[in-house]
Structure 1
Amino acid sequence: MIVLGLDPSLSCTGWGVVRAEGSRIAHIANGQVKTDAKAPMAQRLDQLHRAVRQVIADYRPDRAACEEVFVNKNPQSTLKLAQARGCVLAACGADGLPVQELAARLVKKAVVGTGGADKTQVQAMLKVLLPGASIAGADAGDALAVAIAAAHLKAA
């Protein structure tokens, strides 16, 4: 089974693709979609939508997983995150791809063993779980963690 993990953000959405065979996980690809903060919102969302659709076309995942929205202290940031998340979910929906939504704490628990893990611990565990994988950046790493968590949770 091929799983696409998504870590949505308006400024930089991470994506990661893994192959799951039972409890074994293998890295396929990962990347980040960065948008120009000076561009109009509609243009940024369109860029994000098209990029995720292209990832789906390139890697043909069987399913996707996306991190749930968390509430920031800044309501404007939360709204932008929700718009980006809606955009990536719509991209999956346009291709008929089922999407599993996971809380950040659940992703951390599935990958590291504790829901309170920090980003450093998640990144270190990715090196153990995906040896030799070149990770495009922190957001791509987070997306790979989402994909791994979804694969493990489906296998359980």
Structure 2
Amino acid sequence: MIIMGVDPGIAILGYGLLKMDGNKFNIITSGAITTESTMSMPERLSYIYEELNVLLSKYNPDAYAIEELFFNKNIKTALTVGHARGVAILAASNHNVPIFEYTPLQVKQAIVGYGRAEKKQMQLMVKVLLRLDEIPKPDDVADALAVAICHGNSSKYSNLFKL
């Protein structure tokens, strides 16, 4: 099974594609889609959508796992991230890829075993679980890989989380 994990964002959207064989994960690719603050919101959203379409067409994942929004005190930030999340969901939907969403708490629980784990603990576990030499950078990439691992570990229960 090929799982695409996404950590939505407007300035940086992290992604990671994993191949899961049994309970073993192998990284296919990971990275970040970045937009410049000088771009208009429609330009940024269009760029994110186009880049995700390229990835979805190239890797044809079996599942698309995306992190739910963490409520932010800054409502403007939450809304702009929500726009990017919507575009990310639309891209997967248009490719007929089953979409699953996970809360940050669920992701941390699946990766570290503790839903209130520190970000650094989660990043270290991603490195260990994927047998990487270093923690993926930027943080959004590590988060996206964590969401993909979370889905892989939860896939037998995945209908509970399907959008």
TM-score range, shorter chain: over 0.9
Kindly tell me the number of residue pairs found equivalent between the two proteins. 156
Corresponding residue for residue 147 of structure 1:
148
Deviations 1:62-99 (A, max 9, x none): 11000011211011011001100001000001111110
> 1:3 and 1:136 mapped to 2: Cα distance?
19
Matches within 5 A, 1:41-56: 41-56=41-56
What is the DSSP-based 3-state SS (H/G/I as helix, E as strand, rest coil) of the residue aligned with 2:116?
coil
Q: Return the TM-score normalized by structure 1.
A: 0.96
- Point out which structure has higher relative CO (alpha carbons under 8 A, 6+ apart): 1
> 1:53 and 1:115 mapped to 2: Cα distance?
32
Matches within 5 A, 1:112-127: 112-127=112-127
CA-CA distance at 1:27 after TM superposition: 1.1
Contact 1:23 1:155 in 2 (8 A): no
Matches within 5 A, 1:127-146: 127-132=127-132, 135-146=136-147
CA-CA distance at 1:17 after TM superposition: 0.5
What is the DSSP-based 3-state SS (H/G/I as helix, E as strand, rest coil) of the residue aligned with 1:87?
helix
CA-CA distance at 1:59 after TM superposition: 1.3
What value does the CA root-mean-square deviation take over the aligned residues? 1.2
> 2:153 and 2:10 mapped to 1: Cα distance?
27
Structure 2: runs of 5 or more not aligned? 158-163
Runs of 4+ displaced beyond 6 Å: none
Structure 1: runs of 5 or more not aligned? none
CA-CA distance at 1:132 after TM superposition: 2.8
Residues 1:33 and 2:70 are matched in the alignment = no
Corresponding residue for residue 57 of structure 1:
57
Q: What one-letter code is carried by the residue in structure 2 that aligns with 1:86?
A: G
